[in-house]
Structure 1
């Protein structure tokens, strides 16, 4: 037999009060005295009472839970984004459930189905890079649940968006390298199915154009956002004898792989090849040399996404869809002084 779960009625029987009084005390109703509330809380703790959030959501129409969906909770800007969301929504009594897609669109659909079954009050999503169908997101909207997209987003859903100005970040990074005298700048392009990487490519290309530097297709290379891919791309360039004096990577992880391969090949960074990444992942400041990178302000992004959700749920039908574009910051380190 399964372990018995304490109910509100058990607490009421123990204290010789009504179940409704216990419920109001647990929910900190102002009509309940401090003495009664403390007695209920102490008894609930002693009897190992755990509230049934789904049942409570069915009764009240609110679960005070927000679903946050990210590609990976321990990678790139996402730990900071999650913290920013929690910092804001906790003030209003909300808790956060985090789901991970691992950049798999099918998993994204399944996690959202789970969150909807949990009756969350809102969902905040950074799309998987391969997501190109949006029925699961439209279902969220059809059920009247607030939807906020951040970082990797799509514009045609009529949902609020919070993201970094990826174009400006890439333009600034490329311009920085040009101003350091670099003219043969490799760009490691992330998955082009994602708007964020298309915008970073556009920023790179416009910076070259502004400074009248010819665009060389040999230097514009598709590269997944991981360390091994960065290593392989740089090894291929060196093996083919392609000349280059800088690398602008669309991700810090590919930039790390590029740095490792350059060092293994005897190339000096930044003397022979300067490197700039994107994302300001925590490890970038601890490398030798530390990697210059574009900071996406993950904490600010999370806080902003949370405020958008809270505004949307509080205003209901009066809410106006918003698009918040955050300003990136170039963090200059010793890989491109």
Structure 2
């Protein structure tokens, strides 16, 4: 059976092929009645529009590219889901790529999205990235770029992130309010601004509460589970071990929790724990892990809406810097005081 073309639809309706093409492209000069008739015949004849040809005619593919470090963390998958919901409602499809936290792969992702002629890109930068020329290539070609969570200060680029400094400050202040005074920090690689801000918030909270910063309580890593385990083992060997740990990620905090349980330490009585991200598993472990919620759903919705605003009014659009207020989710891993002091729960 031969493939249905616009000529078949035109013949059935006794109109020109160009009218069919315009009707399928929702051209404003085609009446609603004609558009409805064309769509009905197209559906009945099982017509499939050539998306490449349509893109060449309109200059748009209605494709939105997404680049994330990984899809196996609930934070990133939640952001992706929210972006997709907003984009789909505006008749955009999404192409999802992951860099695996490698700059080389991230560059390859961007090149693939450029070849696919996406109308815009929403991305979170990889842990390795130090050269942003591949992102500038997008904006140099007039392609809207929105960065979220892991961001960089680039021209003509919108940013959506949480206030990482505030989240870290509030987490550390909470531990101090629980009576902790030797608070360790599992810090992420300082190449990424989010980890710089979390470290700075931790230090400032100590200083504002007149607690001396101790370099021995600082552990740099990729803040994965194995890093949290290694860091906790190192800290427990200190002459004066910590009475609390604030980790820059939930994964490192869970690694620390595993070691503490293996060593027979009580959480939070001996060592209180706080993570960062509010991954799904944080409410399932025992005790529940106190963490900083990064508002992934809201972040994804705003990132997608910012893209749509730019693509619809490119000449009027001005790049945005949107900073969301994080939320401290207090659970059993840090709550040494009476449970009535719980600030929030999930």
Helix, strand or coil: the match of 1:279? coil
Say whether residues 1:227 and 2:231 are aligned partners.
no
TM-score where L is the length of structure 1: 0.92
Q: Is the contact made by 2:6 and 2:21 (CA closer than 8 Å) also made in structure 1?
A: no
Say whether residues 1:168 and 2:166 are aligned partners.
yes
Unpaired runs of 5+ residues, structure 2, are 336-346
CA distance in 1, matches of 2:25, 2:156: 35
Q: Is the contact made by 1:26 and 1:41 (CA closer than 8 Å) also made in structure 2?
A: no
C-alpha change, 1:249 and 1:6, in structure 2 (3 Å) is farther
Residue in structure 1 matched with residue 36 of structure 2 by the alignment: 34
Picking from 180, 204, 207, the partner of 1:206 is 204
Q: CA RMSD in A?
A: 2.0
Residue in structure 1 matched with residue 195 of structure 2 by the alignment: 197
Residue in structure 2 matched with residue 261 of structure 1 by the alignment: 259
Residue in structure 1 matched with residue 147 of structure 2 by the alignment: 149
- Runs of 4 or more, structure 1, over 3 Å off, are 4-7, 9-29, 33-36, 49-52, 239-242
Deviations 1:162-205, CA, capped at 9 Å, x for gaps? 10000000000000000000011110001111000000000000
What is the CA distance between 1:51 and its match in structure 2?
A: 3.7
Helix, strand or coil: the match of 2:66? strand
Say whether residues 1:8 and 2:10 are aligned partners.
no
Residue in structure 2 matched with residue 120 of structure 1 by the alignment: 118
What is the CA distance between 1:240 and its match in structure 2?
A: 4.3
What is the CA distance between 1:242 and its match in structure 2?
A: 4.6
C-alpha change, 1:73 and 1:15, in structure 2 (3 Å) is farther
**Residue pairs, 1:1-337, within 5 angstroms:** 6=3, 8-9=5-6, 11-12=8-9, 15=12, 19-24=17-22, 26-27=24-25, 30-32=32-34, 34-44=36-46, 50-337=48-335
Deviations 1:70-107, CA, capped at 9 Å, x for gaps? 11123141122112212222222111111111111110
CA distance in 2, matches of 1:141, 1:261: 46
What is the CA distance between 1:15 and its match in structure 2?
A: 4.6
Deviations 1:220-273, CA, capped at 9 Å, x for gaps? 110212111111111122234451111100001111111111111111111111
Q: Is the contact made by 2:9 and 2:38 (CA closer than 8 Å) also made in structure 1?
A: no
C-alpha change, 1:302 and 1:227, in structure 2 (3 Å) is same
C-alpha change, 1:5 and 1:193, in structure 2 (3 Å) is farther
CA distance in 2, matches of 1:329, 1:228: 26
Residues paired across the two proteins, number: 330
CA distance in 2, matches of 1:269, 1:231: 15
CA distance in 2, matches of 1:26, 1:227: 52
C-alpha change, 1:51 and 1:260, in structure 2 (3 Å) is farther
Q: Is the contact made by 1:22 and 1:40 (CA closer than 8 Å) also made in structure 2?
A: no
Bigger drift between 68-77 and 234-243 goes to 234-243
Helix, strand or coil: the match of 1:6? coil
TM-score where L is the length of structure 2: 0.90
What is the CA distance between 1:64 and its match in structure 2?
A: 0.8
Q: Is the contact made by 1:164 and 1:328 (CA closer than 8 Å) also made in structure 2?
A: yes
What is the CA distance between 1:328 and its match in structure 2?
A: 0.1
Helix, strand or coil: the match of 1:163? strand
Q: Is the contact made by 1:64 and 1:120 (CA closer than 8 Å) also made in structure 2?
A: yes
What is the CA distance between 1:8 and its match in structure 2?
A: 2.6
What is the CA distance between 1:118 and its match in structure 2?
A: 0.6
What is the CA distance between 1:33 and its match in structure 2?
A: 5.2
Bigger drift between 312-321 and 170-179 goes to 312-321
